[in-house]
Structure 1
Amino acid sequence: MLQMRPNCECCDRDLAPNGGEARICSFECTFCADCAEARFDGRCPNCGGDLVPRPARPATLLAKFPGSAERVRKPHEACV
């Protein structure tokens, strides 16, 4: 099951677990759509993999399976 991280690890923007703004790679590095495209050209700065839209978790399942509350930030050169 995806962690559904709550923020962009570049700009720290909040990302809803049932929204369409999050982009992830196969390692679940998480970015907002703006950073993924404008700063990283659709490539994960951590692993080089594709950043794709994260699937939304249906609202009916969020109570039982909430997204992660742990915020992740990483010092990417493009985020300074």
Structure 2
Amino acid sequence: MLSLRPNCECCDRDLPADTADARICSFECTFCADCATTVLAGRCPNCGGELLARPRRPADRLARWPASTERVFKPAGCAAAAASGVQP
């Protein structure tokens, strides 16, 4: 089951479990749509994997299996990706 992390690893923007603006890689590294597109060009700075829309858990299931509250913030990886000149 996906952990549904609560924030963008680049900018620390809140990403509620029901948002359509979250992007994840296969390791569940989590980013907002803006950072995924403009800073990271659709690639995870941690593993190089593709960033795709994070699925949303139905509300009744979310009540039983809540999203994670653990925030992961790694702005250095995003800064390195931006400095490399990666363009979408």
**Does the residue aligned with 1:26 lie in a helix, a strand or coil?**
coil
Aligned partner of 2:33: which letter? A
Give the unaligned 5+ runs of structure 2: 83-88
The equivalences for 1:9-24 within 5 A come to: 9-24=9-24
Partner of 1:30: 30
Give the unaligned 5+ runs of structure 1: none
| Coordinate RMSD, CA, aligned | 0.8
Matched, 1:46 2:46: yes
Partner of 2:6: 6
Partner of 1:69: 69
Identity of aligned residues (%): 65
- Paired with 1:60 and 1:21, the residues of 2 have a C-alpha distance of 21
| Structure label with greater radius of gyration | 2
Which segments of structure 1 move beyond 4 Å, counting only runs of 4 or more? none
Structure 1 or 2: more helix by fraction: 2
Aligned residue-pair number: 78
